[in-house]
Chains A and B, each alone.
Chain A
Amino acid sequence: MKAFITKAAAAAIVVFARAVTAVRAIWPEEGLPTRPCVYFANHSSHGDFVLVWTVLPPRLRRQARPVAGAEYWLKSRLNRFIGRDVFNAVLIARERDQRTEDPVTQMAAAIDAGSSLILFPEGTRNQSDAPLLPFKSGIFHLAAARPDIELVPVWINNLNRVMPKGEIVPIPLICTVTFGSALRLAQDEAKDTFLERMQTALLALSPKPAGSGE
């Protein structure tokens, strides 16, 4: 019964996301990796992982788990239902002193179990005018712990205009989700070089702004 409810809820969320954003995916020429991988995306809205999840082909979608902040997604019953039951999120504690488990260990364990991850390396929603916040080091430590894992940059465009912070009614606007070519940690690559390379790869996918909104 519960499985049925979560499936129905997931389907409803996908239909709603498509109705509001008419979201379109742009794929890299060689296609997406078929093995478990890490999709890392820019983060400006709570709906970000829903959009990535929505456009993934069903076979890849089933193995994809978003990585999300535990304090937000465990806050209320509805949040818990959506975050944990519907999307099967890997919930990590963002505050160091609240951690009972190491986030990198949690993510690596999910990958070892055959899942892909949807990760937002900025660590928090970007409310600034800059297109991207500096990445946190988690993605580096994950890549160092699982050096074979492929990392796919994903640019989510326009969703911040659909639902700016603090608004409750979404504005229907067309969103695109652009997937780049898969990357890997190079041998002996230093943390800063790696993070810089990942940020550049992600930014390279961002289109020129259409409406020049906020």
Chain B
Amino acid sequence: MSAASSDLLTLVAGIFGVLILASAIGYVLQQRLSPNGSNAAIENLNARIKAWWIMVILIGIAFVAGRIGVLVLFGFCSFAALREFVTLINTRRADHWALAAAFFVVVPVQYYLLWAEQYGIFSIFIPVYAFLLMPIISVLRGDTERFLIRIAEVQWALMICVFCASHVPALLTLNIPGYDGRNVLLIAFLVIVVQLSDVLQYVWGKLFGRTKIAPKLSPSKTVEGFVGGVISATLIGAALWWITPFTPVQAGLLAFIITLMGFFGGLVMSAIKRDRGIKDWGNLIEGHGGLIDRLDSVVFSAPIFFHIVRYWWSL
């Protein structure tokens, strides 16, 4: 067995252990505080834990299937996230072909470029080509009503749901000396640290939260949750150094940066939800809301994480 797969196995065993513990706690809480399903917070907690099982198993299957599995998984995530995003933006009939191109051309091409490991074109395809060609497709129909808003919103949707999200599987393309064949663990590091930070902020906030940190944006987020979540996720990140090419201090520092990006990404996406008068992006994941609700922090941290690692560690 290679070092990569034995590390992966250890990691999977650890994650399953955490989930089993979470399910057990959820079960005890339900028996004691919400035997007939009356406590909404506990019912939601259990729905979330169940959804976590499914998400972990899906990611696990993708990892086992290798590069193609990871690309297909994140390609579908981009598709579903874009569907949630475009549902909420200003579109008119004149945008029909531009939107069709976003779903059926931009998403597959972006992930194909990762498959082909064409880093140069991958990194500018959406910021340059889609940015210029999408408004051209829209303008051909001659409808100027709210034109700037329409083209800007479609571009924003593509940047968040496709460009940024595709930087998670892009970690597979990095060539890090002494880390051959283990890149999938970088994805695990990023996703585990950012998602644990979300969970820990929620847990610390529920236990000790007093002071609201952004009452206008996200009334459930507290200073105590934020500080506790970021510090504990940073420590967990440092403790996971053995699956990365980093030293423990470097791993902790990177974990700190991506948890901060994740936190602020959550705030930005909350502001968009408030703007559009909705509570969740969708209903894809029971207990969590839409896919973007779960993915927002990963989406904001992935490109920064990718470029830091690419700049300092990759060839």
Contact = CB atoms under 8 A, between A and B. Distances in A.
Interface in A148-171: 158, 161, 164, 167, 169, 171
A22 interface: yes
B93 A172 contact: no
Contacts of A214: 92-93
Contacts of B91: 161, 171, 211, 213
A174 B93 CA distance: 17
A211 B79 contact: no
A28 to B, nearest CB: 18
A214 B141 CA distance: 15
Interface residues of B, number: 25
A199 to B, nearest CB: 25
Interface residues of A, number: 17
Interface in B87-108: 87-93, 96-97, 99-100, 103-104
B265 to A, nearest CB: 22
A169 to B, nearest CB: 5
Contacts of B216: none
A169 B104 contact: yes
B99 A213 contact: no
B268 to A, nearest CB: 19
A2 interface: no
Nearest to B103: A172
B213 to A, nearest CB: 28
Contacts, number: 53
9 contacts: A161-B91, A172-B82, A172-B83, A173-B87, A174-B83, A210-B87, A211-B90, A213-B92, A214-B92
Interface centre among A24, A158, A164, A173 (most CB of B within 10 A): A173
Given A173-B87, A211-B87, A211-B90, 14 more contacts: A22-B80, A161-B91, A169-B97, A171-B91, A171-B103, A172-B82, A172-B86, A173-B86, A174-B84, A208-B277, A210-B276, A211-B91, A213-B91, A214-B93
Contact of A167 (B82, B88, B96): B96
Contact of B88 (A164, A171, A210): A210
Contacts of B282: 22, 174
A212 interface: yes
A152 B96 CA distance: 33
